A and B are shown apart, each in its own frame.
Chain A
Amino acid sequence: MKSSLFSRFAVVLCIFAVASRAPAQQEAAGPTAPASALATWQRDLLQLAFTAASKFPLQPHIRNRSRAQLQVVDTCFELDAAELAVGFARDIADWRRGAAYADFATWCGRRGDRPRALRYLQLVDDLLLDEQVGKPAQEWQRDFVVLKQARAWAALGEAAKADAAMQSIDPDSTHAVDPDWARTAADRVAGMTIEQGRATFAGIDREFPAMTLGQQGTALETIASLHARFYADEALRRLAEDRLTRVFDKLPPKLRLDAITRLVRTAAANSDAANAQRLVADMQRVVEGFQWRAEDRVPELARIAELRCLAGLPDRGRAELDAALADYHEHRDEIVDIYRAATLRAVALAFFAIGELGKAHDLLASVFEEGMENPNSRPRCDDFVATCCLMARRGVEPRAAMWTRLREIVEGLGEPW
């Protein structure tokens, strides 16, 4: 009995060992989908960012490495470069690989490549149980992956499977772990009639104080979407603006500023400069209502300046952006060095957004150098990856000299981490 059982167990072990190698083979064997519209420079920049992220030693930095890698992968997906993303994802060594595969399955599903989507969904299932690579150690990590699986099933038209996946997740997760779900809620707003919009708004207005985390987040997105959908309806528009600028004044300021930003962009898109300017003024009042540390204040001032330009006040916006930059320089030494690059990055990208390209490039060069202030490669790498990803997203192509410097930075990443 003992011998027989041992033999069976040994066989099972062998099968397991073979099976555990199977996913990698399957992953490599997929058909090639059409290339994305990614510009060559964007592809090169993301490749450089991923190379940097992958230089983290696995031990003890597996989580730092995987987080940085996934940031690049997410950027690829945002830029519709899914093949590049999934190629990168294969090198992620923890549960985040499953999250990336689920996103790829969604991408395949939306393009009608059902077999490939199903194969990657199966890979996600395998990874969720894979103790060595993909099995999440905590519930929120599993939720993060399963949520993306649900979206993939939805993309395949498998509503029942999507719902089943969602049923296994705490409802609060739906907004918290994946903003895309909030955008899905916003998509639903797009199909509403004005009566439905009013009813939805009234419901939010009534329930908001008692809402849970996920519900409040979705509600803010929905308000912003209703504002955009029914901008022509003055009553509804005013209600939305009033809620976000005044009534919900207990919300954290950054959250309110994020929401009002959407309203400003909507007003500008509707050529309603006066309203956009009024909303920017509201944002400024929110900022002025709090005392901020420099690393929190400067990005908000830059955002207001950028939106001021968008609202039709370019001279004032430009002056405010100069002031934000001056504020950064004045208080730079108060900012811990690992937060300086992100602070200055916000100013640089605001200059790019208002069309001051030369200034933006000069500042971005400084951003990379600020990211090198700390003597350790972990924060250097984090800043480098974040800046590269944002440049790719915003369409900021590095100039020739910057490419050289970026490669030097990546080359120089190493001990001490």
Chain B
Amino acid sequence: MNIRLTQGLLAGLSLASLGTAQIVVSSNISTSTTWTANNVYQLANTIYVLPGASLTIEAGTVVVGGVADATLAVCRGAQIFANGTADAPITFTSTADRATWTGGNPKTGTFRQLANNEWGNLTLMGSAYISENQVGTNSAAPSSTNYADMEGLAPATPSLNDYGGGNDNDDSGNLNYVSLRYGGLTLAPTVELNGLSLGGIGRNTQVDHVEILNNLDDGIEVWGGTVNFKYVSIWNVGDDAFDIDQGWRGKAQFGLIVQGFSGAGAQGSGFGDNALELDGAELCNYQPVTTASIWNFTVIGSPHPTNGSTGGDHLTAWRDNCNIQFHNSIFMDAGDNVINNDITDGENGNTGYGCNGTLTWAQRWTTAYTVTSPTNPFAAPEITPAQAYTAQTSGNLIEFRDNLFYNNLRANSYTEANARSVFTGGSGTNNANNSIVTASPITSLTRGAAATPNGVNTTSPVTFIDPTPQNDALTAVEFAPNDGFFTQSRVRGAFPRGNNWLTGWTAASAFGLTSSSQANTYIAAERGGLVGAPVHFTTGNWAGGTAVTLQVENMDPNLNLGLMIWGTLPFNFPIFGGTLVPTPDFIGVVSGAGGAGASGPINVPLGLSGAVFYTQFVTFDLGVPSGEFAFSNGQRHILP
């Protein structure tokens, strides 16, 4: 099919956040407030959104903090609606970062490798169940009366840093398309803030498209609760990238972790520690205990250049009865082990897995997800309703399935993974389809010169990534369950073929750490079918005078038939069980073998610089109810 595009709409490429006024925010927010994109909001100190208040932040708004304690903390009972978009993300950063931008546009700027702690962070506190033993009244078993004090915050009114409660359906608002850069506040040595702190946040809170770059401490830390994550990117944080504790019982899908360093501090305060630090409960036999499901992560460590012992730490560090399933993910470039049983976090007298009659580390790999601990059991929630442990729906409490391991070259990198039969699927385990591969599962990764920023730890920081899949990562044996949250993405790693969802809204994209091309921008709209979600990608660059091919794969292989839709406007129309992204200005039929189809070369017209087109495939599929279809992701194309 040769199709010449004759229609187009000149897109007004908005330069987001050309702030015209700087608003200094120096008082707590007691009255619901909207921050608008025509202003820049400067946090003068730690600002609490007080219980009962809501803070709405418009798409494209910039929030800066020029002092270390410039933090935004959303109290339990308050809400935040940070509703950014792919075109107009919400940016939280420092005045030093903003000084590098062109025209006040956060999509520009200069990356500074050794920069963090230039402002505080974003903290959300909710009322979901947590397990915590530092508050004297807390019980070992889950209780709506249990609560904790958020670390790193010291409000004048003590209750303002409380989180936890009995509402797993807690709704603390939305975080959509939010970029958090160069934060991490040091209150005192070892008392630091994470890029995004989430304490007791419930599943009614929406967190998707969130980026943390160059934070002093952890990237995202989650204490208990049931919040789910989708499309998260964590780069160069100075401690653990994704840190879990106090009984998190959520799901996460599509996460990119790039370990490195962001300052000259020690490992844990500037040089990255573990990529994923996975604690079960604050005390090992408390409940709730972390029981979660993670799909489609790409985890890139920070190895010593010659694989010595002073690079980054483990890719996954496990503690205190944590149960997590990893599926369809990529683990590469480990600084130390890909799986490590830390036994305990060394706090509170914990003795790690197996304490006080709980299941041992080894037993959790062979124990069905339905088995919950009888020690301090999670009885029915006292108020309404929600299941305590919902994230896992099959398999064993700990399992690895369908993951790729690449370039993990330390001598001990796979010792624990082998002991747990990750690659052989030993008796009783539910491990399967995991491979150590020798060809890179991501398209490209470039590292800079080796550096020893703190005089002890050495690594070569990542300077560019195209994280889209190649080789064994292009497909997977399994895909996530259709539960309304997960996308049935049948790839390994965080990105479908030809779709880099970092583009356009992240600091990584703005700073040239990954692509900033708007030629083929990913739009999440997949609806899975018999073999998972169809993937739409474009080969060739959508530029005037060139030929491109619109492609789809992962159609129902029995039918091999789909409709190619494109239009000049976004439509986002619910139909046939899915969402139609483009206006159906043109519709074509694609067919092919093996579930793959292509448009054939399309000649992109000349002279339409700035024109915008949207494309998507709707495929016929026996795996969906009669009268419905499977839907691929959409793509937006802007002519250069």
Interfacial residues, chain A to chain B (CB-CB below 8 A) = 1-2, 5-6, 9-10, 12-13, 16, 60-61, 63-64, 67, 129-132, 135-142, 170, 172-173, 175-177, 209-214, 216-218, 220, 250-255, 258, 290-293, 296, 334, 336-339, 374-379, 415-417
Report chain A residues within 8 Å CB of B386.
Answer: 140, 176-177
Report chain B residues within 8 Å CB of A67.
Answer: 171
A24 to chain B, nearest CB (A): 16
B380 contact from A63, A129, A214, Cβ within 8 A: A214
Report chain B residues within 8 Å CB of A293.
Answer: 137, 145
B625 — nearest CB in chain A belongs to which residue?
A129
Contact B382 A376 (CB under 8 A): no
Contact B378 A213 (CB under 8 A): yes
Contact B171 A5 (CB under 8 A): no
Counting CB contacts under 8 A, is B524 at the interface? no
Contact B587 A252 (CB under 8 A): no
- Which one of B49-57, B216-224, B263-271, B491-499 is at the interface? B49-57
Contact A141 B387 (CB under 8 A): no
Contact B579 A131 (CB under 8 A): yes
A140 to chain B, nearest CB (A): 6
Q: A61-B54, A339-B51 given. 15 additional CB < 8 A pairs?
A: A5-B589, A10-B584, A138-B484, A139-B483, A139-B484, A212-B370, A213-B387, A214-B380, A250-B141, A252-B382, A253-B145, A254-B382, A291-B137, A293-B145, A416-B33
Report chain A residues within 8 Å CB of B56.
Answer: 60
Contact B484 A172 (CB under 8 A): no
Cα separation A9 to B141 with both chains bound (whole Å): 56
Contact A2 B586 (CB under 8 A): yes
Counting CB contacts under 8 A, is B635 at the interface? no
Report chain B residues within 8 Å CB of A61.
Answer: 54
A138 contact from B379, B380, B485, B584, Cβ within 8 A: B485
Report chain B residues within 8 Å CB of A64.
Answer: 79, 171
Contact A338 B51 (CB under 8 A): yes
Report chain A residues within 8 Å CB of B587.
Answer: 2, 5-6, 9
Interface residues of B in 143-163 (CB under 8 A from A): 143-145, 159
Interface residues of B in 584-601 (CB under 8 A from A): 584, 586-589
B620 to chain A, nearest CB (A): 12
Report chain A residues within 8 Å CB of B449.
Answer: none
Counting CB contacts under 8 A, is B563 at the interface? yes
Cα separation A212 to B368 with both chains bound (whole Å): 13
Contact A6 B584 (CB under 8 A): yes
A379 — nearest CB in chain B belongs to which residue?
B52
Contact A375 B377 (CB under 8 A): no
Report chain B residues within 8 Å CB of A374.
Answer: 51-53
Cα separation A375 to B171 with both chains bound (whole Å): 20
Contact B32 A378 (CB under 8 A): yes
- Which one of B15-23, B388-396, B534-542 is at the interface? B388-396
What are 10 A-B contacts defined by CB distance under 8 Å? A1-B589, A138-B228, A138-B484, A176-B388, A252-B144, A292-B145, A293-B137, A296-B145, A338-B51, A416-B33
B129 — nearest CB in chain A belongs to which residue?
A252
Contact A378 B54 (CB under 8 A): yes
Cα separation A66 to B563 with both chains bound (whole Å): 37
Report chain B residues within 8 Å CB of A214.
Answer: 380, 387
Counting CB contacts under 8 A, is B435 at the interface? no
Counting CB contacts under 8 A, is B100 at the interface? no
Counting CB contacts under 8 A, is B545 at the interface? no
B390 — nearest CB in chain A belongs to which residue?
A140
Report chain A residues within 8 Å CB of B579.
Answer: 131
Nearest 4 interchain pairs by C-beta: A217-B380, A131-B574, A252-B143, A416-B32
Contact A376 B52 (CB under 8 A): yes
Interface residues of B in 164-222 (CB under 8 A from A): 166, 169, 171, 173-174, 203-204
Contact A213 B588 (CB under 8 A): no
Contact A254 B228 (CB under 8 A): no
Counting CB contacts under 8 A, is B623 at the interface? no
- Residue-wise interface mask of B (45-88) relative to A, using a CB-CB cutoff of 8 A (1 in contact, 0 not): 00000011110100000000000000000000101010100000
Cα separation A374 to B142 with both chains bound (whole Å): 29
Report chain B residues within 8 Å CB of A336.
Answer: 51, 77, 159
- Residue-wise interface mask of B (555-571) relative to A, using a CB-CB cutoff of 8 A (1 in contact, 0 not): 00000000100000000
Cα separation A67 to B385 with both chains bound (whole Å): 13
Contact A176 B159 (CB under 8 A): no
Instruction: Known A5-B589, A220-B379; judge A376-B387 contact (CB<8 A).
Output: no
B172 to chain A, nearest CB (A): 11
B493 to chain A, nearest CB (A): 24
Cα separation A60 to B54 with both chains bound (whole Å): 10
Main secondary structure of the interface of B (DSSP, over half): loop
- Residue-wise interface mask of B (107-151) relative to A, using a CB-CB cutoff of 8 A (1 in contact, 0 not): 000000000000000000000000000001101111111000000
Cα separation A108 to B438 with both chains bound (whole Å): 63
Counting CB contacts under 8 A, is B428 at the interface? no
Cα separation A374 to B75 with both chains bound (whole Å): 14
B618 — nearest CB in chain A belongs to which residue?
A9
Report chain A residues within 8 Å CB of B378.
Answer: 213
Counting CB contacts under 8 A, is B512 at the interface? no
Contact B52 A252 (CB under 8 A): no
- Residue-wise interface mask of B (30-43) relative to A, using a CB-CB cutoff of 8 A (1 in contact, 0 not): 11110000000000
Contact A252 B171 (CB under 8 A): no
Q: Which of B81, B379, B387, B589 has the most CB of A within 10 A?
A: B379
Cα separation A135 to B51 with both chains bound (whole Å): 30
Report chain A residues within 8 Å CB of B390.
Answer: 139-140, 170, 172
Contact A254 B143 (CB under 8 A): yes
Cα separation A364 to B385 with both chains bound (whole Å): 27
Cα separation A60 to B174 with both chains bound (whole Å): 9
Contact A210 B374 (CB under 8 A): yes
B385 contact from A13, A132, A176, Cβ within 8 A: A176
A63 contact from B83, B140, B171, B578, Cβ within 8 A: B171
Interface residues of B in 224-247 (CB under 8 A from A): 228
Q: Which of A1, A290, A378, A416 has the most CB of B within 10 A?
A: A416
Q: Which of A138, A216, A292 has the most CB of B within 10 A?
A: A138
Instruction: Known A1-B589, A253-B139, A378-B54; judge A9-B387 contact (CB<8 A).
Output: no
Counting CB contacts under 8 A, is B544 at the interface? no
Instruction: Known A131-B579, A140-B387, A378-B32; judge A251-B141 contact (CB<8 A).
Output: yes
Report chain B residues within 8 Å CB of A10.
Answer: 584
A256 to chain B, nearest CB (A): 9
Contact A290 B377 (CB under 8 A): no
Report chain B residues within 8 Å CB of A139.
Answer: 390, 483-485
Counting CB contacts under 8 A, is B546 at the interface? no
Report chain B residues within 8 Å CB of A5.
Answer: 563, 587-589
Report chain B residues within 8 Å CB of A216.
Answer: 377, 379-380
Contact A137 B54 (CB under 8 A): no
A84 to chain B, nearest CB (A): 22
Report chain A residues within 8 Å CB of B370.
Answer: 212
B586 to chain A, nearest CB (A): 7
Instruction: Known A136-B484, A138-B483; judge A337-B380 contact (CB<8 A).
Output: no
Counting CB contacts under 8 A, is B452 at the interface? no
